[in-house]
Amino acid sequence: DDEITKMAGSMDLEDLVSQLSQDGDVDNVEGLVDELEEMGDLEREELEESIRPIKLVLVKLRRISFKIINSTTLLLPAWKALLREMEMAEKIIPRDVTTRWNSTYDMTSFSDEYQRPIDAMTANKS
């Protein structure tokens, strides 16, 4: 969890910037239940351990998305050039914003479709 916390260190600022750039829509959280509060300590630890790899991937995708979108002079042009080179539609990675319903799904769905250029941008050829 230290690795995730370290990687996500600047995510609060990135999330705030993303939220401020949105049109002000806020999800209604009335009636939501925190399932973690209902779990015992052992069950919560097992859940955290099982979802740790997913959290790590989400943090990485959020950082990549934020950096590409907000680097209009370096990374964004490189992203667009890479997409043209790969003959893919020129789309931007959707931002994952906590106040936008379904934005995590949009980001992960996009990353599945655009895995090749994301891997190329991050030099991760696996």
Residue 55 has pLDDT above 50, yes or no: yes
pLDDT (0 to 100) of residue 20: 54
Contact 7, 56 (CB under 8 A): yes
For the chain, the structural domain boundaries read: 2-17+32-122
pLDDT (0 to 100) of residue 85: 96
pLDDT in tens, 68-93: 999 889 999 999 999 999 999 999 99
Distance (Å, rounded) from C-alpha 46 to C-alpha 51? 9
Distance (Å, rounded) from C-alpha 10 to C-alpha 109? 23
pLDDT (0 to 100) of residue 6: 61
Q: Which of 106, 100, 121, 124 is nearest to 18 (CA)?
A: 100
Residue 60 has pLDDT above 60, yes or no: yes
pLDDT in tens, 3-45: 666 655 555 555 655 555 555 555 556 666 678 788 889 998 9
- How many beta carbons lie within 10 A of that of residue 94, not counting itself? 20
Contact 88, 113 (CB under 8 A): no
pTM: 0.67
Residue 105 has pLDDT above 80, yes or no: yes
Q: Pseudo-torsion of CA 36, 39, 44, 47, nearest 10°?
A: -80
What single letter denotes the amino acid at residue 11?
Answer: M
What the block records as the tokens of 54 is 């997913």
pLDDT (0 to 100) of residue 125: 46
Contact 59, 1 (CB under 8 A): no
| Per-position DSSP letters for 31-47, written without gaps between them | T---HHHHS-HHHHHHH
Mean pLDDT, residues 85-104 = 90
